[in-house]
Chains A and B, each alone.
Chain A
Amino acid sequence: MSDAAIRVEHLSKQYRLGGSVPGYASLRDRVTEGARSVFRAKATSRPELFWALRDVSLSIGRGEVVGIVGRNGAGKSTLLKILSRITEPTEGEVHLFGRVSSLLEVGTGFHPELTGRENVFLNGAILGMTRREIRAKFDDIVAFAEIETFLDTPVKRYSSGMYMRLAFSVAAHLDPDILLVDEVLAVGDAAFQKKCLGRVEQISGQGRTVVIVSHNMTVISTLSDRVVWLDGGRIVDIGSPADVIARYLSAGIESNLAWVPRAPASDAFVFHGVSVRGAGSDAEAFPADSPIDVEFDYEVRQPMPPGRLFFSLLNESGTVILSSAETDGTPQEHRTWQLGRHRMQCRIPGNLLRPGRYFVTVAEPDGDRYIFHEGALGFTVSEQNSLVTKDAGQSLIAPLLEWRPVRVPSG
């Protein structure tokens, strides 16, 4: 017990559904409900209850980095919200040993009218830093965010990248014993992301405890010492990152060549289906030399912020083999969506993937962000015609590359 940082005991959280907006009432509703219940023994319109977390027990050691994975609605965010004291448990209890900081969102409390400098102070104070602490770290924060020249510009004039960098930078300079992070590492460009990951590694290296929720399996597997898999509010599996991620990704899908989201995230954008197709009559496994097509069938129903289609391909241990966006080959990063129904296909060439199980994480646009459905699709590349059967050893991919003789200069 002495070296535990977090002890979660039989934790449950119940939420109320039902009504137009959950939990949101007006006095009128209360009054009419009360009047009704006078005439009936009990109010008939019982709100629907559901358990976001059910009997979760978990102990996290000091200095440990624990990753939490699970599909949308599995209870990951609820767990972090309870740990960070934003909401209280319905049953069970949590013991926290040390100062806790949570990073459930970057830029909480940022005010668009205020300058970068003012927002650093404000945001730092909201996250629990003292004025003296912020002063001492101010230069580091600004240097980390790389926004020195814009310090006295209102953040409403910042690009979204600059805004995110500054916001993350403030949070990255917190000094808690326990740090809770919810899917916020996916900000900024690749170089900045790398910097963020480095920062989290550095924090955990100093003996601090980190709990991190992410849909990015590479982040989870590189950072975590242990991974917890949540589903339906319960812990399904706890163990080493490689084992748990492999089981998590392959759970429930033997072969899932087509996928439709259960409920669209927004009214503006609807996936009618995302599918993978390869050569061969055997739908389960594609020969290694056959190209594989990932097809998006989608409909844009309302004007929405510029975005793009993209997906990631993961191998069985959760390593991202490749990611591709429809805009990769075009100069502008995002494009505006055309209203109507469309189909887009992305071809993964044959003779590239090793034999094995693969998963496709699909990004579903929702306003100006994305919802990630990891392992939405799963398929197998068979050993048939694979280069691996000839040689290829332990390589991650097995591409067929071009070899050609070069003339030896005579002389």
Chain B
Amino acid sequence: MHIVLKRRRGLARLGLRELWEYRELVGFLVWKDILVRYKQTVIGIAWAAIRPLSAIFVFTFVFGRLAKLPSDGLPYPLIAFAGVLPWQLFATAFAESSASVVGNAQMVSKVYFPRLIVPISSVASALVDFGVTFVLVIAAMAWYGIVPGPRVILLALFLLLCLAAATAGGILFSALFVRYRDVRHIVGFGLQLGAYISPVGFTTAIVPEKWRLLYALNPLVGAIEGFRWCLLGHGWIDARALAIESGIVIVALLFALYYFRATEATFADVI
């Protein structure tokens, strides 16, 4: 083994092979996140269920009962459930991974490992909470007697879109956070707005046709509507919109990866 250390110049390499060699560390960090999150709590993992349930309650009450928004004839709680499921995955993964590098400052300044491991494991640990919510969604669908068609298989693609969007944002913001502590505020504020801009508690049906493509510049629109379409059979699916969304996410992910790799060499110096 021969390693050369010198100042990086030009476009950074992604270092995906090294990342693969360290895959076990991702597992360990996720395991730690989960252990720590629910240790010394009285109800433990039940917290992972309370968060989405309370959001669904609020959305059903405000948008379904008070505002009487359309629900395509479906029970409103299910509309909200199918929206909250991908949104909370995105919000948790994005928020946790943005803060992850600074949150692990001690590790970053004392041990070498591919730095991308840190935001990636935060995204991965958000998947655990997603799993809990997913079980709740299945239970709710069974309660209302709704059986999804074979298109439920496509859920994997929309899940991927959602994860890729969160990973892109998380990686980019975790690198920015090292230098600019403003990120903390931007992320919190952005997610708060995002929950209302994205069709989490309502469906895209209320957005006028001519504005739909503009609305689809937000990749979460595709992910959330895709989830509804796969699970409930009703949702706004549009090929052009999905192409735009996927394009945006891929470009953002590549940009985030390169930006992260280009700045990570100075993490230990400025963190």
Enumerate chain A interface residues (CB-CB to B < 8 A).
15-16, 22-28, 30, 81-100, 102, 104-105, 108-109, 111, 113-114, 118, 121-122, 125-128, 130-131, 154, 177
CB distance from A230 to the nearest CB of B (A): 18
Chain-A contact segment, one of B4-12, B166-174, B209-217: B4-12
- A100-B3 in contact (CB<8A): yes
B110 touches A111 (CB 8 A): no
Size bracket of the B interface? 35 or more
Q: Is the CB–CB distance between A26 and B3 below 8 Å?
A: no
Given contacts A104-B111, A125-B28, contact A97 B6 (CB under 8 A): no
B37, closest chain A residue (CB): A113
- Say whether B112 contacts A93, CB under 8 Å: no
CB within 8 A of A95: which of B2, B36, B104? B2
Which residues of B sit under 8 angstroms from A177, Cβ to Cβ? Answer: 1
| Bound Cα distance from A24 to B28, whole angstroms | 30
Q: How far is the CA of A68 from the CA of B182 in the complex (A)?
A: 40
* CB-based contact A27/B28 at 8 Å: no
Measured between beta carbons, the chain B residues less than 8 angstroms from A109 are 104, 106-107, 111
Partner of A111, one of B2, B32, B179, B180: B32
Partner-A contacts on B (CB < 8 A): 1-8, 24-25, 27-29, 31-32, 35-36, 39-40, 104, 106-113, 179-182, 265-266, 268-270
**Contact across chains for A97 and B28 when beta carbons are under 8 A apart:** no
- A92 B6 Cβ-Cβ under 8 A: yes
Q: Is the CB of B7 within 8 A of A91?
A: yes
Expressed in whole angstroms, the Cα–Cα distance for A8 and B112 within the complex equals: 19
19 A-B residue contacts at CB 8 Å? A16-B269, A22-B270, A26-B181, A27-B182, A81-B268, A82-B5, A83-B5, A84-B112, A87-B265, A87-B268, A88-B8, A94-B4, A99-B1, A102-B111, A113-B35, A113-B40, A121-B28, A126-B25, A126-B107
Is B28 a contact partner of A23 (Cβ separation < 8 A)?
no
**Residues of B with C-beta under 8 A to A92:** 6
C-alpha gap A119/B193 in the complex (Å): 38
CB pair A113 B39 closer than 8 Å? yes
Bound-complex Cα distance A82 to B36 (A): 32
What 17 additional pairs, Cβ within 8 angstroms, besides A125-B24, A126-B25, A131-B27? A23-B266, A24-B179, A26-B181, A84-B112, A86-B108, A87-B268, A87-B269, A88-B7, A95-B2, A99-B1, A100-B3, A108-B107, A122-B29, A125-B25, A126-B111, A130-B24, A154-B39
B181 touches A90 (CB 8 A): no
Contact partners of A91 in chain B: CB under 8 A: 7
The answer on a CB contact under 8 Å between B2 and A86 is no
Complex CA distance for A82 and B6, rounded to whole angstroms: 9
User: B179, A23: Cβ atoms under 8 Å?
Assistant: yes
Asked if residues B6 and A86 are in contact (CB atoms below 8 Å), the reply is no
Given A26-B180, A89-B5, A111-B32: A15 in contact with B269 (beta carbons within 8 A): yes
Given contacts A82-B5, A114-B36, A130-B24, A25 and B180 within 8 Å (CB-CB): yes
Q: Are A89 and B7 in contact (CB under 8 A)?
A: yes
A105 CA / B268 CA spacing, docked (Å): 14
User: Judging by beta carbons under 8 Å apart, are B270 and A23 in contact?
Assistant: yes
Residues in A neighbouring B179, C-beta threshold 8 A: 23-25
Top 3 A-B residue pairs of the complex, sorted by shortest distance between their CB atoms: A23-B270, A93-B6, A125-B28
Cβ–Cβ < 8 Å partners of A118 in chain B: 32, 35
Instruction: Report the Cα distance A102→B4, complex, angstroms.
Output: 16
A15 to B268, CA, bound (A): 11
Candidates A86, A113, A127; contact of B36 at CB < 8 Å:
A113
Q: Which residues of A contact B181 (CB under 8 A)?
A: 24, 26
Chain A residues with Cβ below 8 Å from B8 are 88
**A residues near B32, Cβ cutoff 8 Å:** 111, 114, 118, 122
Which chain A residues border B4 with CB–CB below 8 Å?
A: 93-96
Are B269 and A97 in contact, with the CB atoms below 8 A? Answer: no
Q: How far is the CA of A208 from the CA of B106 in the complex (A)?
A: 27
Q: Is the CB of B36 within 8 A of A97?
A: no
Within the complex, which residue of A23, A25, A88, A97 is in contact with B5, where a contact is CB–CB below 8 Å? A88
Q: Please, which residue of chain B has its CB at the minimum distance from the CB of A8?
A: B5
